[in-house]
Each structure stands twice: as structure tokens, then as C-alpha cells.
Amino acid sequence: MVSLKLTIKAAGFHNISRILQEGFFIYGRCGITVRELLTEECRLDNQIINTKIMTVFLNSKPVDNIDKALIKKETVLALSGALPGLLGAIFRKDSIYSSFRGPISYKNEPENSIKEKSRCKIKIKLFNALIDELGTHFLQMGILIESESFLSFIKGLYSSFSQICSSILLNDEETHFEIFLKRTLLLKKTRYI
Amino acid sequence: MDTILRINMSGKNGPEIKKESMGDYAGLGGRGLTSMIIAREVPPTCHPLGEDNKLVIAPGMLSGSAAAISGRMSVGCKSPLTGGIKESNSGGQPAQVLARLGYAAIVLEGRPENDDLYKIFINKDGVKIEADNSLKMLPNYDLVEKMKNEHGDKICCISIGPAGEMKMSAASIAFTDMELRPSRHAGRGGIGAVMGSKHVKAIVLDDTGMSTREPKEPEKFKEANKLFTEGLKKHPVTGEGLPAYGTNVLANIINEAGAYPTNNFQKGQFEGTSKISGETLAELETERGGMATHGCHRGCVIRCSGIFHDKDGKFLTKQPEYETVWAHGANCGIDDLDSIAMMDFMDDNYGLDTIEMGATIAVAMEAGLAEFGDAEAAIKLLKEVGEGTPLGRILGNGAAITARAYGIERAPVVKGQAMPAYDPRAVQGIGVTYATSTMGADHTSGYAIATNVLKVGGYVDPLKEDGQIDLSRNLQIATAAIDSTGMCLFIAFAILDQPETFQALIDLLNSFYGLSMTADDVTELGKKILKAEREFNAKAGFTSKHDRLPDYFKKEPVAPHNVTFTVKDEELDKVFNW
């Protein structure tokens, strides 16, 4: 197993944005609600959930009530702040315009419809203001990303590496970026990092 | 702002200038004024490029005043793209300047019999119009540079590019921004072709020596403006989301919803979205020394625009808006922001509607003229339009014409106008507005204030099955009214969520004009405008059969939700029952 510790300067945080937009994985439990996932597994405060997370998609379906929407295996949960325009309003939780998106809205499932509350992997995407609001929280909590996303992120750093990354510790050893890149490219077969 | 400036381009001895009072049009501005003049004065069956059509350019009711974010300019005519009435509006400086010069509207009438191309100059001393054939086929950026050299940098310009001169149905009219760049466009409906048909290349405005329009009740106005501005700034959308990321902040969300038309509306999700999203765009702009937050005119407090620099850190174009990034991006399978920004610049320079051109190139791609995702080929096609090659002449007339020329069924248009960036199968309520709008497929036609704030036609239950019909109707009414004020439509959501901000808007209008309007009066104005527009279209030959989406939206399911457009025709016919 390879251990890697990258220290990114605050100014380079935006370089991580693509990873957060495209999605990362955390572990949760099947059968719990979106709110339970956010509070219990992601350790987010209810006030943040109620005031900052304005739009929620569960497997591409806009959700109106996060206390009813249930997490399943391979769920993709996308979270967004307030958005402009009529379309922004249409996709909000509890939108007055929800009829505009009727056929694609999340339909509540009966409680206890998922009997086995097993551990499952959930993909989370963060958009717009939530990248800044919640990005560091999730990074501190620890996330899983696909090796393809990680490689794309590292390649994207190439030209501006010195401005963004203050140190690389590969198996606890300070490593030069070129060497690190070569080693990283060998990690293609690794599914998660 | 109590004068209508009429310029008859058919005058025997050259263009004739006439100034007249508002008369029956008193109290109107923006879309209210453009649509009323067109409905009353233009024969509905006339040829849009003929001498009987008129081009009306009108600032909003509050433009030129100190009211925040009041710099929208409306342009109206019979549209060469749809064949119906058209109002297209834009930001930029000219609305504020024209209003300060005292004009409620410029009306271009008739058509010269010679080939001369004209320039109009308006300042505090009056109006001059002269032939200047050295301007022929100048792109907008070159034209404005020339105007700057001739008239100084205190001016602002309204102009057309080569597309307008070639009378293409996708031609726009450009309005200069705060930096005197022709980056703001009234894009929809081919209005640039109508200006071209009048042989007017540019209208140059200089308000030096003029002052801000004064309200009738200054103290009340000042207080209302303060409350209105505070309302916009404290709202999370107008105060945070839009300034930080611009309108393209919608890309990720619409894509997540499966409503982001991809590859000419074949799919509802684009895998390259994170590469062209508002978040990524803002980061790139900041990294290259551009700006992720910028206003399109003075007095804007939302500042949803930005400045896009190329890889060398030089200005390329203004921040491409959501619709543009979608049209030239996902809809053509292109995930490269530099290419999209280049096409945005080319559209602005040639004077083309970015939505229509993106939709057209996607149709051309489906026809086999290029591969989806091939940015270089897309740029080449756009160049053909600017140069007016035979292929370019087809493309420059829009998605419907291009589809017809190449035998493509999948033309995403209503009344001949290309759909914007929301798939109506995934967001069916938007489909209702696309289908029934007087303007052709237009997302901004039903955009404004919540029905339950205005209570237009009573309270609407959004969960009712036919809620989307009622909502679409009421949104269209409210939008027609807002389009008359000169206010940017993005105020709508601060108003939706904050009744005190809505009241502040009414108070702004009342204190400025010394009126005592209520929300009901605003509603009546919206209805009056829509009624006039509907009547014009009916006389031009439109029937309920034109209030429909293309059939394939009812038959072809769109991924990932695999939904079709299911709103019944008889439901669509109820939209204008009030």
C-alpha cells in the first residue's frame, strides 16, 4: 500500500474543485434518509443543511423532502447552493415550481422499504457555493476518489504545481513532483485512492 | 424621457427625422412600448425585411434613473426568424444613455432605395444621420473602435455586424458595455437583420451634459431604491451565487437533472460538464487575470458577468453566459472553454445570436457537416457564417432553415426559433412556455415573479397536475410587465422570496412617476402586452397549431430519465385563457 500526503496551499484549493464537482465517495448506510446521511455520516449541522443546501438531487432526481428521500446502494447525491433563474428555482427543495419538473422529481418511497441497512458506498457531488462551504469539511473527513479523477487532478497541477502544492510525502518521504508523477502514473490499476 | 424619435429611412431626400411626444404610448417603456408600437403600426402580414416593418428600440421605464439594475434595452419588430412579433432585450450602457438623452424610443421606419449604409449620432444637441459606406461589413469590435476614434470614448453604441447587413435571421443587435466593447446583445429573433434592412449600421449615443432622470418624489424614490438594493444584495442568488459564478453556475445543476441538452438534444446529460461549468469558468477567469464578477452596465448590483482572457492573459471576450456555454458547448459535444469563448467572441463580432448559432451548428453536426465534439470544425462553420459563404448563408438563417436544407427532422425550434438550454422533456413546464410564448422558443418569456406573490389569476397550487399550465401563463404575464421596467430579469428571485423587495420595486415605479400602482396594475400591464402580441401573431397567420413543440419531443425519450413531453395539446391551448 502506498501512502501519500499532499499539502495544498489555500490558494490552490480551487484546483480541487473539479474533483468535488465530478464526485467523490464516502461510506454510509443503505436505508437512511438524506438528512440522516448528512448529519450522522457526514457530520453536518442541521442549520447548514437547512440554510445552505438549497438543491438536492438523488440519482439525478430533484428532491423536495430530504427527510423522506432514502439512500440506496450506488446512490449519487448532488448538493447545491442557491441558484439563479427560473430553472434554479424549479430545482430547489420544496419549490413552488415543482410541477414544472413533475415527471423527473424524486418520488418518496415507503418507509422501511429498504430492509437491509447495510454499509454502502455513496457518490457525492458538490456544486457552486457548497464547494467552498463544504469542500474542506469533506476533505478533512476523508474521501475516496477514483484513480482516473486523481490522475486527471495531478496532471492538471503540472504547470502550476509549485504555486499550489507545498509538499509531497510519499510513504512519509519528501518527494519531487517529477518522481511522484511517474510513481502516480503506475497507479492506474488502483481503483480508489 | 418623453420623446419618440422616428427616423423614416424612405425619405425622398434621404432619411427624415421626426420627434414626437408619447401620445397614446404615454406611461409605457421597454417591451410594453415596443410591442404596442409594433402591434398598432406594423401590418402583421408585411415582410419582416420590407419597408413596412419597423424597428423600435426602447429603454425601460426606470432606465436612466438612479434605480439599481435598470439598464435593459428592449428592441421590437416583426421577426424574420419567427414571422411573429418580437421583443429581444439586452444589457449594456445604451438604455441608460438613451433615456438620459430624453428618448423613450427610437423607431426606424421605411427602407432606403439606394445601397448606402447609415450611421446615426445622438447627443444633447440633437440627431444627425449620415451615409458612411466605409462601415460596410465591419465586424462589431472594429466598428466600435472606429466610432471611438471619431467620437471619443464617452459614447456608447448600438450596432450590427456583417450578419445583420447580410440580413441573416440569426443576426443580433450589439450594445456596448461599460468598457465600450460590443459584448451585450439583443440576440433573439433576427432583429439585427431588420436593422440591416433599414441600412442602419450604428447608432452612436453621447449623453455628455445630460443628467440622471429625476423622480417625481425624490425622498420616496431614494428610500425605495435603498430597500430594493438591500433586497438584491441580501438574497443568496442575487447577492452570492450570481456574482461568484455568473449565469453558467446553472450548468452542473441542469446537467445533474438530466435537462442539459447534449449533441443536438439527443441526450440530457453531458459528460464534459465539469470542464465547462460556471465554477470551472470562474476559476479559469481568475487564474488568467480576467474577472469572474463584473456588471454589464453601470448601476448593476448583481454583477453576473465577467471577463474572459485567453491563454496568454489577453482579453478575448466577456464571460460567456450559461446559454452560450451550453449552445456552443454541450449541445455540440464540446468541452473546451477556450473554444467556446472564441465562438462567443465570433458571435459578438459578426453580430449573431449565440443560442441560435449553437443550435444551428449542432443541427449541422447531426447532418454530418462536422463531428460532435469537434471544436475546430465548429469554429470553421461559424467563420463561414461571418464570411457569408453559401453554406454560411444557410447556417446564418438558423436551426430550422439549416435542418430543412439538410433534411434533418431533429430541429429543436418553436415558431422557427431555437430552444434554449433546457430540455422540455425533463422540465415540462418550460416546454409549456417554449410552446406557447408569443416569441417562439424562449426561456425568458416566462421567467419572472412568482404567481403567488402577484396572485395573478388567483392562487396556484404547484402540486396540481395542471399547475404548470397556470404557472406558465402567470409567469409570462409577469415577465411581460417586468420587461417594460428596464429591470434585469434576475431581480425576479429576490422579489419572489422577499415580498418587501417586490414592494420596493412597485414603490420605485410609483415614486418615480408619481403613481399609485398596485400589484394588480402590474398584472394588467403584463396581460395587455401579451394580448397585443397574441393578436398581432394571429393576424400574421399564427394559430394554436403553432403553439406546439416539434413532434419528436413527444416520441423520443431523453436519457437519463427516459421521458417524453407529455403535456397535451388541449392543455397548451388553455395557457392564454384568462
Q: Report the CATH number that the domain containing residue B483 is assigned in CATH.
A: 1.10.599.10
Locate the DSSP E strands across B257-314.
Answer: 291-294, 305-309
Distance CA B339, CA B325 (A): 10
Q: Are the beta carbons of A80 and B253 separated by less than 8 Å? A: yes
In a domain, B232, yes or no: no
In a domain, B20, yes or no: yes
Q: Which residues fall within 8 angstroms of residue A23, CB to CB, at 6 or more apart?
A: A76, A78, A123, A124, A125
- Give the containing element (helix H, strand E) for B399: helix B399-406
Strand order through the sheet with B291-294: B291-294, B305-309, B315-318
Is B152 found in the same domain as B18? Answer: yes
- Antiparallel, parallel or unpaired: β A165-170 and A119-126: unpaired
Is B560 found in the same domain as B526? Answer: yes
The alpha-carbon gap from A187 to the nearest alpha carbon of chain B, in Å, equals: 24
pLDDT tens for B258-293 read 999 999 999 999 999 999 999 999 999 998 999 888
Q: Which residues of chain A have a pLDDT value below 50?
A: 189-193
Q: Hey, of A74, A99, A107, A131, which one would you mutate to test binding to chain B, going by the most B CBs within 10 A of its CB? A: A99
Give the domain-ending residue among B205, B226, B258.
B205
Q: What pLDDT is attached to residue A18? A: 87
Q: What pLDDT is attached to residue A115? A: 65
Give the cell for residue B292: 469572474
pLDDT tens for B292-314 read 888 888 888 888 889 999 999 99
Distances (CA, A) of B349 to B307, B318, B342, B406: 16, 12, 10, 27
Q: Are the beta carbons of B493 and A21 separated by less than 8 Å? A: no
Q: Hey, of A58, A100, A134, which one would you mutate to test binding to chain B, going by the most B CBs within 10 A of its CB? A: A100
- Return residues 25-64 of B near A (CB < 8 Å): none
Give the domain-ending residue among B205, B234, B260.
B205
Is B253 found in the same domain as B193? Answer: no
What is the percentage of chain B residues whose pLDDT exceeds 70? Answer: 95
In a domain, B229, yes or no: no
Distance CA B56, CA B149 (A): 28
DSSP B120-134: EEEETTEEEEEE-GG
Is B264 found in the same domain as B188? Answer: no
Locate the DSSP E strands across B153-304.
Answer: 156-159, 173-175, 184-186, 200-205, 291-294
Task: Give yes or no for a contact between B498 and B231, defined as CB atoms under 8 angstroms apart.
Answer: yes
Is B453 found in the same domain as B354? Answer: no
Residues of chain A with a CB closer than 8 angstroms to some CB in chain B: 14, 17-18, 21-22, 54-55, 57, 60-62, 78, 80-91, 95-104, 125, 127-129, 131
Q: What pLDDT is attached to residue A185? A: 64
Q: At CA B509, angle to CA B504 and CA B511, rounded to 5?
A: 85
Distance CA B1, CA B211 (A): 12
Q: Which domain holds residue B311?
A: 244-418
Q: Report the CATH number that the domain containing residue B288 is assigned in CATH.
A: 1.10.569.10
Is B441 found in the same domain as B414? Answer: no
In a domain, B221, yes or no: no
In a domain, B542, yes or no: yes
Distances (CA, A) of A115 to A39, A59, A121: 21, 20, 17
Is B414 found in the same domain as B452? Answer: no
Q: Which residues fall within 8 angstroms of residue B358, CB to CB, at 6 or more apart?
A: B324, B326, B327, B328, B329, B331, B332, B343, B418
Mean pLDDT across chain B, nearest whole number?
92
Q: What pLDDT is attached to residue B457? A: 38
Is B253 found in the same domain as B105? Answer: no
- Rg (C-alpha) for chain B, rounded Å, is 22
Q: Which residues of chain B have a pLDDT value below 50?
A: 448-465
Is B283 found in the same domain as B180? Answer: no
Give the domain-ending residue among B374, B396, B418.
B418
Q: What pLDDT is attached to residue B241? A: 67
In a domain, B331, yes or no: yes
- Count the domains in chain B: 3
Task: Give yes or no for a contact between B362 and B326, defined as CB atoms under 8 angstroms apart.
Answer: no
Q: What pLDDT is attached to residue B456? A: 39
- Return residues 483-512 of B near A (CB < 8 Å): 490, 492-493, 496
B164 vs A: CB within 8 A: no
Is B360 found in the same domain as B461? Answer: no
Residues in chain B: 578
Q: Which of B256, B283, B428 sits opposite A100 (nearest CB)?
A: B428
Q: What pLDDT is attached to residue A186? A: 61
Q: Which of B287, B463, B496 sits opposite A89 (nearest CB)?
A: B496
Q: Are the beta carbons of A87 and B427 separated by less than 8 Å? A: yes
Residues of chain B contacting A85 with CB distance shorter than 8 Å: 247, 250, 322, 447, 490, 493
- Antiparallel, parallel or unpaired: β A55-58 and A76-80: antiparallel
Q: Dihedral angle at the C-alpha atoms of B281, B185, B362, B545, nearest 10 degrees?
A: 130
3-state DSSP of B203-219: EEECCCCCCCCCCCCHH
Q: Are the beta carbons of B283 and A125 separated by less than 8 Å? A: no
CB contacts < 8 Å between A and B, how many? 154
Task: Give yes or no for a contact between B539 and B44, defined as CB atoms under 8 angstroms apart.
Answer: yes
In a domain, B30, yes or no: yes
Beta bridge mates, B130: B119
Q: Are the beta carbons of A86 and B447 separated by less than 8 Å? A: yes
CA A11 to chain CA centroid, nearest Å: 20
Is B197 found in the same domain as B68? Answer: yes
In a domain, B234, yes or no: no
Is B74 found in the same domain as B29? Answer: yes
Q: Report the CATH number that the domain containing residue B160 is assigned in CATH.
A: 3.60.9.10
